[in-house]
Structure 1
Amino acid sequence: MIFAGVPFLVFYQFFAATLRSRGNSRIPLAALTISSICNIVLDLLFICVFNMGIAGAALGTILSEALVMIVCGYNVYGMLHEKKADDDIARDNNEYISSDVVRRLIVVGLPMALQSGITAIGGLIVISNVNHFDITFLTGYTIAGKIYALLEIAASSYAVAVVAYVSQNFGARKIDRIHSGVRASLIIGIGTALVCSFIMIAFGQSAMGLFVDSSSVSPDVFKYGRDYLLVLGIFYPLLYTLYIIRAALQGGGNSFVPMISSFGQLIMRVFCAVVITGFIGCRGIYYGEITAWIFANLILIAAYYYELHLKK
C-alpha cells in the first residue's frame, strides 16, 4: 500500500528542486513541516480512532505525501505564471516539451538515479554480512547507525544547497562564484563535521541510551556501538567533503563522475564487509565506511579540480 505514495514523492522532489533552483528553500521546508504534522495527526486518527492498524499508518503517510506534493506544486505553478516586467522567468510559449531539454535531463538524471541505487545495494550487502555476527553486534551497529544517520542530515542539506547554488551560477557562467561558494561550503561543512565528530566520540555511548535501556541489553551492545561511532567520528569530515564536492559536480551538470564514485564506494564497502571481516572481525564493517569515503573523495576531488582548470 505504501508504494501508492511513490508518484507523490516523485513529483514532490521535482517541484521542490524547481523551487530550490529559484533560491526558494522555504516553501519545501514549510511543506515538509506541515506534512509531518499532518502525518502524525492522521496516524493517530486512523490507528487510534478508526482502528485501521498498519493500513491506517500507511494511508496517513500517503495522504501526507500527497499534501506536500500539492503545496510545492501549487507554488511552482504560481512561480511559472507570475508576471514580471523584467521577464524574470524565461519561458518558451511555443514549445512546452523540448527534445533537447528532455535529453539533457536524462543525461544528468539517470546517473544520479543509478547512484542512489548503487548506494542502496551496497547498504543491503553490508547488512546481509552484519547479520552473520551475533545479536549484540547487530544491535550496537544498528543503534550507532541511527545516530550516524541523524548527524548525516546536515551533510545532505548542505549538498542540496550546493547543487542549487552551483547550478544557478553555472547557468549564468559565473565560474569564479562557483569556486568561492564551494570553498565556503567546505569550510562550513568541515566545521559542522568536526562538531558532529565531537558529539559521536564524546557523547555517542550516552546517545545510544536514548534508543535502548542499558539494563535490558548486554554491555557489549554499547561497546560495539561506541567503537563504531569512534571510527566514524575520527573520519567524519571526509563524509561532509564527499557530499559537498559531489553536489558541486552535479550542480555543474556532471553526474557521471559521482555515479562512478558510488561504484567505488560499493566496491570498498563490500570488499571490507566480505573479505576484511574474515581477518579482523566486525571492525572490517567499520573500516568499510571509511575506505569508501576515502576512495570516493579521491575520484570526486580529482574530477572537481580537473573541471576547475578546464573551465577557467
Structure 2
Amino acid sequence: MELLHPWRLDLPPQVRDKPVLSLVLPCYNEQDVLPETTRRLVALLAALDAAGSIGPGSAIYYVDDGSLDATWRLIGEYAAVSPAVCGIKLSRNRGHQNALLCGLMTVPGDVVISLDADLQDDLDAIPRMLAEYRAGCEIVYGVRRRRDSDRFLKRVTAEAYYRLLAGMRVQVQFNHADFRLMSRRALEALRGYDETHLFLRGLVPQLGYRTAVVEFERAARFAGTSKYPLSKMLALAWQGVTSFTAYPLRLITGVGALVSLGSLLLATWALGIRLLTGQAVPGWASSVIPMYLLGGVQLLSLGVIGEYLAKVYESTKRRPRYHVESVCGSRFEREAP
C-alpha cells in the first residue's frame, strides 16, 4: 500500500504551524491496553486541535501485527465510532520493526509520530515534539531521561549495548527506542532505504536533516505483558550490530592475529621447557592446547561470517517485508489509494 496523499515536501510556514499529525502504533496482542490507549490518544488529539497545534485530518493509526486476540476487532469498533481512529491489519505477524515501517510508509500526514501501544511512552512529550518540528526540525527523538523503572540487569545491559554500538561507530541516539517524530521530508527519504533487516533506531540517524531530542520519563506498562522477551531483545541487538557495521568481521581478524601470536609464544615456551628441563610431556603442549584454542576461534569466526552471509542471501531474494490484509477507518474510506 502506497502513501495516501502526494504530500508536499516543501512545506510553507503556516503548514508547519498546524501540521496534519498521524500517530502510528504497532500492536500485537494488545487487547488489554487498547481501550485506555485509545481514550488517551483521542483526548490528546482533541486537546492539540483545540490549542491550534495540529490541522484537520490528524488521526491515530493502529498497525495490527497479526494479533491472536481481539486487538483487530477492538480497532474496528473504535474506528466505527471515531473518525480519529484508523487501523491497518497485516496478513501475519512480521515483527515490530516491519509493522512500524508499514505504518510509516502508509499513513498520510505532514508529521508522523511513532510510539508504543502500551502507554509507556509519555504522551505529554508529544506537544514538545511538535514545538521542535515547528522550530524547523525534521526528526525529533523521544529519549528516556532515566531507566529507573527497569530492573537492574536490563538497565545495565541496555546502556552497555548503546555504548557498544557507539564504540563500533554505529550512529544511534542513546536511550532512544522508537518514540520519535518524523516529518514528511524525512519519511520520503526513509522510503529510499530498501533494507531487508530493519533496525530503525540505526537507520533513521542515517537520514541526516535537523534533529532534536525531547526527554521524557518512561512509565510502567498500563496493562498486558511485554512483547519483547529476552530472546527478541537479543535478536534486535544483534540485528543492530550486523546491519550497520562490519566491526565483528574486523574483530575476527584481530582475534586471529592474537591467536597466531599466542600460538607462537606457546610454541616457544613448550620448546624451552623441552630443551632446558626435559620435563615436558611429549606431544601435550603441541597438540592439546592449540587444538582447543584454534577450534573454538574457528567456530566462532565461522558463525559470525555465516551471519553476514545469511543477511546477504536474504537481501538478494528481495521478499516483501509485509502484506496488508485490510484497513478500517474513515480516513481510508475517503482517501483510498
Greater C-alpha radius of gyration: 2
TM-score, normalized by length of structure 2?
0.25
TM-score, normalized by length of structure 1?
0.26
Ranked by relative contact order (alpha carbons within 8 Å, sequence separation 6 or more), the top structure is 2
Structure with the higher fraction of residues in helix conformation: 1
Structure with the higher fraction of residues in strand conformation: 2
